[in-house]
A and B are shown apart, each in its own frame.
Chain A
Amino acid sequence: DAGVIQSPRHEVTEMGQEVTLRCKPISGHNSLFWYRQTMMRGLELLIYFNNNVPIDDSGMPEDRFSAKMPNASFSTLKIQPSEPRDSAVYFCASSFDGQETQYFGPGTRLLVL
């Protein structure tokens, strides 16, 4: 029974480059969440989707960040252009309507030089 899958697990890039993070939620789950974890701000919600539709993107830091969910089994978080302050661990989580528990992926550790 596969959990939430994220790729890549680690990403090192240079400032100004485009970064794309990928997430496959648990099969059957219809809500998907992107979180970012930093030392300064802890775990914070960036955006969440319900039935592939973005519901709340108020946590997205700025226009350099965008997220898509083209179908129920795939989502991307894109940063363009990337900056050193974007360095963090990015988590994807999924849940099913009516269930309070969100299940997290292993995260993508991003380092922008």
Chain B
Amino acid sequence: DQQVKQNSPSLSVQEGRISILNCDYTNSMFDYFLWYKKYPAEGPTFLISISSIKDKNEDGRFTVFLNKSAKHLSLHIVPSQPGDSAVYFCAALYGNKLVFGAGTILRVKS
């Protein structure tokens, strides 16, 4: 039972363009959503988050959008840089428990 889904296993984007990573969830009880970035041989690193009572949160080049009616969130990276190449995990918080999606591999080509 996958409560958090990232349906795109990979995404390739040209440097300077926008990267859009998508995530869908099924449990309407999730009250917080987070994006993590992971490089090989390292642990996931927190990137940005959004409360379920908001629809947008911005931090520099990173913006997360939440559409509660569609149970969908997305991460926008503008402009994309080669250093952004990593695996991006969407995660949803229920109580103190994080439920992760399968991840999307982002490749930013220079």
Contacting B at CB under 8 A, from A68-108, are 91, 93, 95, 100-107
Using CB atoms, name the residue of chain A closest to B31. A100
Query: What total of A-B pairs shows CB separation below 8 Å?
Result: 46
Q: Is the interface of A mostly helix, strand, loop or mixed?
A: strand
Say yes or no: is B88 at the interface (Cβ < 8 Å to chain A): no
With contacts A100-B32, A101-B34, A102-B98 known, is A43 near B93, CB below 8 A? no
| A50 & B43 in contact (Cβ 8 Å cutoff) | no
Minimum CB distance partner of B97 in chain A: A45
Q: In which size bucket is the chain B interface?
A: 20 to 34
Inter-subunit contact B46/A105 (CB<8 Å): no
Q: In the complex, which range does the number of interface residues on chain A fall in?
A: 20 to 34
Query: A104–B45 contact, CB under 8 A?
Result: yes
Whole-angstrom distance between the alpha carbons of A4 and B42 in the complex? 12
**Contact (A100, B44) CB under 8 Å given A43-B89, A50-B96:** no
Q: Which residues of B contact A33 (CB under 8 A)?
A: 98
* Residue interface mask A42-66, B partner, CB < 8 A = 1: 1111001010000110000000000
B13 within 8 A of A: no
Cβ-defined contact, A48 with B43, below 8 A: no
Across the interface, name the chain B residue whose C-beta is closest to A39: B102
Question: What residues of B have a CB within 8 angstroms of the CB of A50 in the complex?
Answer: 96
Contacts of B96 in A (CB 8 A): 31, 48, 50, 55-56, 95
> B-contacting residues of A (Cβ < 8 Å)?
4, 31, 33, 42-45, 48, 50, 55-56, 91, 93, 95, 100-107
